[in-house]
Amino acid sequence: MPQLILGVLAQSILLTLTQFFLKLGVKNIGHIEWSWEYWKTIFLNWQISLSGICGIGALAIWVTLLKKHDFSLVYPLTAISYILGVAIAYFFLHESVPLTRWIGVIIIMIGVYFIVK
């Protein structure tokens, strides 16, 4: 069980970092265009590239988790990434997070606890 929890935590961290770096990267890009120059800008943006690397890492861990554990156990545990996402939004992106969202995070944490038990 500790190996499962560590795997899910690592996968959730990488999944959250994927979205975090994507958010940082798209903030620096102008309006969407369907041109080669636009796509070159996307692929040369270091935040978006790092987002892709984190996403590939999350996928590799996810494949390993699915191979070793029941989907009905592993998939709900990925809700940990929601908790991490709200925390990153608040602490690093300085977004306003209302009380209702924090309550939702607490409910998710309670749900994750029951899934593990």
Write the DSSP assignment of 61-78 as a string of letters.
HHHHHHHHS-HHHHHHHT
Q: pLDDT at position 70, please?
A: 93
Q: What is the pLDDT of residue 40?
A: 82
What pTM did the predictor assign? 0.86
Confirm if 112 and 77 have CB atoms less than 8 A apart.
yes
The answer to whether 9 touches 58, Cβ cutoff 8 Å, is no
Contact by Cβ (8 Å): 48, 42: yes
Q: Tell me, what's the pLDDT at 34?
A: 84
pLDDT for 116 equals 80
Q: Are 56 and 43 in contact, with CB atoms under 8 Å apart?
A: no
The tens-digit pLDDT sequence of the chain (117 residues) is 789 999 999 999 999 999 999 999 988 787 777 888 887 888 888 999 999 999 999 999 999 999 999 998 999 999 999 999 999 999 999 999 999 999 999 999 898 888 887
